[in-house]
Chains A and B, each alone.
Chain A
Amino acid sequence: MRPYKLSAVAAILAVALSAPPAVRAQSAYQVVEVPDGGTIAGIVKWTGEKPKPLTLPITKDPSVCDPDKTGTRDLERIEVSPEGGVANTVVYLRGVTKGKAWDLPDSRRSLDQEHCRYVPHISLVQAGGDFGMKSSDPILHTVHMAGAVDYNLPFPMTNVLLTRPMRKSGMVDLKCNAGHIWMNGVIFIVNHPYYAITDEHGSFRLTGVPPGEYEIVAWHEGWRVAREEPVLDVGTQTKTKRLFFTEPLTWEKKVTVAPNGRSTVDFTISER
């Protein structure tokens, strides 16, 4: 057998055995008219004994971080209303590739740092879109991102808007390296607009959904602590701790949306 034949056979085998790189590229979301779009609404409810909120002592910059002089800060990992609604749960449809125009809520598409909290606690931004960040606090904060993007930006002065492109879809954890170790938040960078975040009553609403069958997912960042580490705040000589959280939790259901229809999907979550 002559060499050229061997190499041709080898080339064919190599192609057959490896995955083509083009397959990895994600198909872009396509905006189309949705004249008969339906609505999916529902509530994420807590069942069982309500979990205690996770808190940390405010060890730094109390005049800015703790205007109410409570001494501690709720980490906002779990918020359950008196009626049992769970806030800050991200509810989305899996794998939608075409549908309504982008309409993610303005209030979720940019970040403020206010009294040493990330506001909103969970942000929602279009993949490839810009994300704006500022600080309302007259002290140093940093937005240190880890996940789908990894910008590390300081905010040494108030009301300076910094904008960065969120190039890849995925999740991003936020932390402040300026000693405010209780500050935590998440940015969701998403490939389609069928995402909602539950309000303080646990309610969500997805509109303009093309009729069809969907998998609907509820995602919660989780409220349990995996481990903790002692930390000494040098400025105040206060002993505190750094908390490390468990992995986020998800719940899935199936939902059918009729033309101009209204579907209801409720999720019940609990300690498990």
Chain B
Amino acid sequence: MGCFRFDLTEFWERHLPIGLRAAIAAAGLAVVLCWAPAAPAQESHIGKWTGNARAGKDLFRRFCIGCHGKDGDGNGENAPYVDPKPRDFTLGIFKCRSTPTGSLPLDEDLFHTIGRGVDTTAMPSWQPLTDQQRADLVAYIKTFSPRFREEKPDPPVKMTPETPDTSESRQRGEVLYQTTLKCVQCHGETGKGNGPAASTLRDDKDNPITPYNFTALNRFKCGDTNADLYRIFMTGLDGTPMPSFADYVTPDQAWDLVHYLRTLQVHYSGKASPRAAKTTANASLDK
């Protein structure tokens, strides 16, 4: 063609002495190896699965982008029609965690949320995906927020084995709900989600949000087992007005509250649903 072309290969082979070539290659390799610690944010670890962000990106672009958007900021093309709004992953703030308020979630927490879906929202259960695919998605979701590179999640909140569900336990739970912890302010005296503060509530994006209505529903946003319920009020649902009560109740008191809250769920049979059993099976991954 007659125009000047810089040939890197030719330059490398003809103009650099072999010693210099080796030194440059070694330096490059050393830098690459030294940078390896930055890599974990591109991976997830859930039980025996290691999620890969690159694989997760393809899945995200196929299944998640419509709501969560290509930048993971919750501004996908469906977002205007969805209430509550899709999660903005760039904030690194998540409702369903096993970790205390203010902490990042564990990889397992995100994995379970994807598999379980988020009840009463547009987020479906992604059980049709394989465990490996969900682990890949977790790895990719973590790339949207710098928090996952800069912070580590706190240890999960303490959970003891469930205490017996007796009438005394329920009564103690009732006192906590109605009086001590003042849950009634948002959730209302009968758990309908119509407490005096309910109408003023907004999520972190300033969108109106309603407190959970125990009387209408059996499942919760973050699961449907007693352990999930325990976890919800001990961790709080970050990004929503639901705070963490971990500073105020002992594990035994938390179980009392669980037993009382179940009495507000008039349709709750006490038997775990098949889906709950599935979720519990997945929870064994935590160990």
Which A residues have a C-beta under 8 Å from some C-beta of B?
A: 1, 4-6, 8-9, 11-12, 14-15, 20-21, 60, 139-140, 142, 144-146, 149-154, 156-157, 160, 162, 164, 167-168, 177-179, 181, 231-236, 242, 244
Contact = CB atoms under 8 A, between A and B. Distances in A.
> Which interface residue of A6, A142, A160, A236 has the most chain B CB atoms within 10 A?
A142
A1 B9 contact: yes
B31 A15 contact: yes
Contacts of B239: 150
A1 B236 contact: no
Contacts of A234: 194-196, 198-199
A150 B102 contact: yes
A156 B182 contact: yes
B24 A12 contact: yes
A177 B242 CA distance: 8
A270 B209 CA distance: 37
Nearest to B33: A11
Given A11-B29, A156-B182, A231 B200 contact: yes
Contact of A152 (B9, B35, B201, B241): B241
Interface of B: 8-9, 12-13, 21, 24-25, 27-29, 31-32, 35, 38, 93, 101-102, 149-151, 180-182, 185-186, 194-202, 204, 206, 236, 238-239, 241-245, 247-248
A154 B245 contact: yes
A12 B28 contact: yes
Given A144-B243, A164-B102, A4 B196 contact: no
A143 to B, nearest CB: 8
A240 to B, nearest CB: 8
Contact of A154 (B28, B181, B201, B238): B181
Given A11-B32, A150-B204, A233-B200, 13 more contacts: A6-B9, A12-B27, A21-B35, A153-B243, A156-B181, A156-B248, A168-B150, A177-B186, A179-B185, A179-B197, A179-B200, A234-B198, A242-B202
A178 B186 CA distance: 7
Contacts of A139: 182
Contact of B201 (A9, A145, A149, A177): A177
A157 B180 contact: yes
Contact of B236 (A152, A167, A181, A235): A152
Nearest to A61: B196
Interface SS of A by simple majority? mixed
A146 B238 CA distance: 10
A177 B197 contact: yes
Nearest to A231: B200
B241 A144 contact: yes
Nearest to A165: B102
Nearest to B209: A177
23 contacts: A5-B9, A11-B31, A139-B182, A140-B182, A145-B102, A150-B204, A151-B101, A152-B238, A152-B244, A154-B181, A154-B182, A154-B243, A154-B244, A156-B180, A168-B150, A177-B197, A179-B196, A179-B200, A233-B199, A233-B200, A234-B198, A235-B196, A235-B197
A231 B201 CA distance: 9
Contacts of B206: 244
A157 B13 CA distance: 76
A174 B109 CA distance: 27
Given A8-B28, A149-B102, A167-B151, A154 B248 contact: yes
Given A1-B9, A1-B13, A149-B102, A178 B197 contact: yes
Nearest to B12: A5
Contacts of B24: 8, 12
A150 B93 contact: yes
A8 B29 CA distance: 7
A183 to B, nearest CB: 11
A20 to B, nearest CB: 8
A146 B101 CA distance: 12
A149 B182 CA distance: 25
B101 A153 contact: yes
Given A8-B29, A9-B12, A60-B197, A177 B151 contact: no
A14 B24 CA distance: 13
Contacts of B247: 153, 160, 162
B232 to A, nearest CB: 12
B214 to A, nearest CB: 17
Contacts of B27: 12
> Which interface residue of A12, A153, A154 has the most chain B CB atoms within 10 A?
A154
A160 B27 CA distance: 57
Contacts of A164: 102
Contact of B28 (A15, A60, A160): A15
B241 A142 contact: yes
Contacts of A179: 185, 196-197, 200
